[in-house]
């Protein structure tokens, strides 16, 4: 069976998908902003569904917008084999994060179709809604609901944090306005729903390029957690309010940010990473002492207990700091997830296919989180990484070569065919 990936078509479609964006142009590269449920996201979904239908696949959408593109197998009663990823993009990001897995998955299915391959198990491409935390402050919204790790009630009550048409609206209001009605309880899929799940994704790190390897086989996915801290101080005039009388919320926030960095480094483990990625200052005037600051913390580790140890140390610092500074600090839990182990069986299939094709590979941990972290609740999972230039991602200069994308798609196609014949 000769599987031929149409690399030219895949490159063209990736470029076309990148046009559904609200980002300004960037001299660094193709900037993409595509926030879930935005006009650009909806245009991209419409475009993708048309491509899928043109290939003869059946398209289904669930109440949160997860989109299932199915090639029905000869034994449709068996659990299907699935692949997929996301097409939403954080502000001013690149054009390959997530999209390589969605369009690569579509291309893998079309190439298998063209090769005359007939799947025993159905093969399903899944576009997962809102993998990025941009709008609702939590990542992997669609796959969490599939996995059942986020309650429909809590999800529907999530409030949009984006200053656009939706500011202050809930997920329930926004998804209904986008045409996604029905109960979120219907999104949940049972354990064992899929026979296997394989996600193709750019590495978003430098290791493959540094070691001149064209493919990464993920062994485990690190566990993300995120928290929101609201620091309450007392505002006032930048000139008249004297230093001894101040309760400056931003100075207090700065101590929290440095405490996070200090205790993360203190674990001595390279797998412990933490980022305070947003800092909203009120009232945000140069000549006004900050009275309120909201920080969002993203902390990850392959070892959730070690991650929790950092949080405990930071909380202890906060306790003494807030007394000393006379400020309040409110911590809001967003998520604290477990890591996911990849399927040894599917990893074996991937290794065999790489060896048969003479493709060198590296087995590695994924420090970025992905929908696969949650699809692990409904299927044995695996992830395929391709290199990205300088390890850059979430930036307009994010780049993966057409050759690497085609190679990853070829291995994906052969893996799906192997699993769908089991
Ligand atoms: O942040 C992440 O790991 C993913 O790219 N959303
Ligand atoms: Mn991302
Ligand atoms: Mn991604």
DSSP H stretches of helix in 191-343: 207-210, 249-266, 304-325
Ranges in the chain annotated CATH 3.30.70.360: 225-336
- Return the pLDDT at 241: 98
Number of CB atoms found within 10 A of residue 314's CB: 24
Share of the chain above pLDDT 90, in %: 98
Q: Which residue has the tokens 């078509």?
A: 9
Ligand 1 centroid – CA 421 distance (Å): 32
Q: Which atom of ligand 1 is nearest to the CA of 369?
A: 3
Share of the chain above pLDDT 70, in %: 100
Ranges in the chain annotated CATH 3.40.630.10: 7-222+339-420
Strand, helix or coil for residue 350: helix
Q: Is the CB of 368 under 6 A from ligand 1?
A: yes
225-336 placed in CATH 3.30.70.360: yes
User: Which ligand lies nearest to the CA atom of residue 94 in the structure?
Assistant: 2
Q: Is the CB of 199 under 6 A from ligand 1?
A: no
Q: Is the CB of 132 under 6 A from ligand 1?
A: yes
With 80 as the cut, is the pLDDT of residue 407 above it?
yes
Half-sphere exposure of 132 (CA within 13 A, CB side): 22
- Return the pLDDT at 259: 98
With 80 as the cut, is the pLDDT of residue 216 above it?
yes
Q: What is the mean pLDDT of the chain?
A: 97
pLDDT class of 2 with cuts at 50, 70, 90: confident
pLDDT class of 1 with cuts at 50, 70, 90: confident
- Return the pLDDT at 362: 98
Q: Summarize the confidence of residues 114-136 as an average pLDDT.
A: 97
Q: Summarize the confidence of residues 314-343 as an average pLDDT.
A: 97
Distance between first and last Cα of the chain: 16
pLDDT tens for each residue of 32-71: 999 999 999 999 999 999 999 999 999 999 999 999 999 9
7-222+339-420 placed in CATH 3.40.50.2300: no
Q: Summarize the confidence of residues 159-188 as an average pLDDT.
A: 95
- Do residues 374 and 144 touch, judged by C-beta distance below 8 A? yes
Mutate to test the pocket of ligand 1, among 89, 366, 369, 395 (most ligand atoms within 8 A of CB): 369
């Amino acid at each position: 069976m000769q599987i031929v990936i149409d690399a030219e078509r895949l490159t063209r479609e990736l470029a076309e998908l990148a046009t559904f964006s609200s980002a300004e142009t960037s001299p660094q590269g193709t900037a993409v902003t595509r926030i879930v449920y935005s006009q650009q996201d909806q245009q991209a979904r419409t475009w993708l569904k048309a491509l899928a239908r043109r290939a003869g696949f059946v398209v289904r959408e669930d109440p949160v917008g997860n989109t299932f593109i199915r090639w029905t197998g000869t034994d449709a009663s068996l659990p299907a084999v699935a692949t997929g990823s996301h097409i939403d993009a954080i502000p001013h990001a690149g054009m390959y994060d997530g999209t390589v897995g969605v369009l690569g998955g579509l291309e893998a299915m079309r190439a298998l179709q063209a090769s005359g391959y007939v799947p025993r198990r159905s093969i399903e491409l899944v576009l997962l809604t809102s993998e990025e935390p941009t709008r609702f402050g939590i990542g992997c919204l669609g796959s969490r609901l599939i996995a059942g790790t986020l309650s429909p009630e809590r999800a529907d009550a999530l409030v949009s944090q984006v200053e656009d048409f939706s500011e202050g609206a809930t997920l329930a209001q926004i998804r209904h306005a986008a045409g996604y009605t029905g109960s979120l309880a219907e999104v949940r899929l049972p354990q064992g729903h899929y026979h296997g799940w394989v996600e193709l994704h750019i590495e978003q790190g430098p290791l493959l390029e540094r070691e001149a390897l064209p493919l990464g086989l993920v062994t485990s996915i690190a566990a993300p957690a995120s928290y929101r801290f609201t620091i309450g101080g007392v505002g006032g005039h930048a000139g008249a309010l004297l230093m001894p009388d101040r309760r400056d919320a931003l100075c207090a926030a700065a101590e929290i940010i440095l405490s996070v960095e200090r205790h993360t480094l203190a674990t001595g483990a390279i797998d412990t990473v933490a980022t305070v990625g947003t800092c909203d200052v009120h009232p945000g005037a140069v000549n006004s002492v900050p009275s309120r600051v909201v920080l969002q913390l993203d902390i990850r580790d392959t070892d959730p207990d070690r991650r929790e140890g950092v949080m405990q140390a930071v909380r202890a610092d906060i306790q003494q700091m807030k007394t000393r500074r006379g400020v309040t600090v409110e911590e809001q839990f967003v998520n604290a997830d477990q890591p996911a182990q990849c399927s040894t069986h599917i990893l074996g299939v991937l290794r065999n296919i790489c060896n048969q094709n003479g493709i060198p590979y590296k087995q590695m941990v994924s420090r970025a989180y992905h929908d696969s972290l949650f699809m692990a609740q409904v299927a044995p999972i695996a992830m395929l990484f391709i290199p990205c230039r300088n390890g850059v991602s979430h930036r307009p200069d994010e780049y993966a070569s057409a050759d690497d994308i085609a190679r990853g798609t070829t291995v994906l196609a052969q893996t799906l065919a192997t699993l769908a014949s089991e």
